[in-house]
Homo-oligomer: A and B are copies of this chain.
Amino acid sequence: MASKNETTIKAEPGKQDLFITREFDAPRELVFKVFTDPELVPRWLGPRELTMKIDKWDARSGGYYRYVHSDAQGNAYGFHGVMHEVSAPERIIQTFEFEGMPEPGHVSLETARLEELPGGRTRVVVQSVFQSVDDRDGMIQSGMERGLKDSHWRLDELFEELAK
């Protein structure tokens, strides 16, 4: 499905953070639910060709999460972190680590802010702060943008389905 909503990634040269901005045709409460409900997250998080399996998902302040993305060839990619703050319906702050790095300990801090827009729409702004500029640039070069856009299209579809 084509979407009129565009995913933008802002990453200034030499900085160790990046900002992802996207609008959705769904009210904030619903966007928050879809971002935090372990029944719904596997339906949109990640590129379409991967299957997401949740290992743990405790979406509350102080909670822990872990999930695994698998492809058709059986390759598995694990991700985990802790949820510093889960405040419905406006803010989620969590850590994020990709388990496939050559060494553990490369962690980023993600802050998602959900803003109400007129007409029952929502703008989501996610900031990711990395331990270094290299870590941030590595994440961007890993093909993050394609995976993000795919996730956001899948979200558009999910919101359309949930609105029926």
Contact = CB atoms under 8 A, between A and B. Distances in A.
Interface of A: 15-17, 62, 64, 81-85, 87, 91, 93, 95, 97, 104-105, 107-109, 111, 127, 129-131
Contacts of A82: 62, 64, 82-84, 95
Contacts of A16: 15-17, 129
Contact of A129 (B84, B91, B105, B109): B109
Tell me whether chain A's interface is mostly helix, strand or loop, or mixed. strand
A87 B104 CA distance: 10
A53 to B, nearest CB: 18
A107 B81 contact: no
Contacts of A131: 17, 109, 111, 127, 129
B127 A129 contact: no
By Cβ-Cβ distance, the 10 closest A-B pairs, closest first, are A82-B82, A62-B64, A109-B109, A84-B95, A82-B84, A129-B129, A93-B107, A84-B107, A91-B105, A62-B82
